[in-house]
Amino acid sequence: MKAHVDQEGCIGCGLCSEICPDVFRMNDDNLAEAYGEVTDENMAAAEEARDSCPVSVITIE
Ligand code: SF4
């Protein structure tokens, strides 16, 4: 599965990359990007990151 961040709405809080660094990282503009595959191992953390995003710009599909 893949995660996606709509960077237009990201406010750069860093929460997703803290909760699930396997999948999310901050880029040079301090916007989150989903760089990693969502796997069975990190799925729970990836979903927690999605659900914790204060502006709800993360999707997983
Ligand atoms: S949790 Fe949401 S707002 Fe915060 S860095 Fe991640 S995508 Fe951006």
Q: Position of tokens 């953390």?
A: 45
pLDDT number for residue 33: 98
Closest Cα to residue 50, out of 20, 11, 8?
Answer: 20
User: Tell me, what DSSP letter sits at residue 50?
Assistant: H
User: How confident is residue 61, by pLDDT bands cut at 50, 70 and 90?
Assistant: very high
Q: What is the pLDDT, as a whole number, of residue 9? A: 98
Q: What is the best residue among 4, 8, 15 to mutate for testing ligand 1's pocket, by most ligand atoms within 8 Å of CB? A: 15
**Structural domains of the chain, with CATH:** 3-60 (3.30.70.20)
Residue that has been written with the tokens 């191992």 in this structure: 41
Cα–Cα distance, 15 to 30 (Å, whole number): 12
Q: What is the pLDDT of residues 9-57, one digit of tens each?
A: 999 999 999 999 999 999 999 999 999 999 999 999 999 999 999 999 9
Residue 1 contacts residue 60 (beta carbons within 8 Å): yes
pTM of the model: 0.96
From 16, 24, 25, 30, mutation site for ligand 1 pocket: most ligand atoms within 8 A of C-beta: 16
CA 52, 42, 7, 12 torsion-angle sign: positive
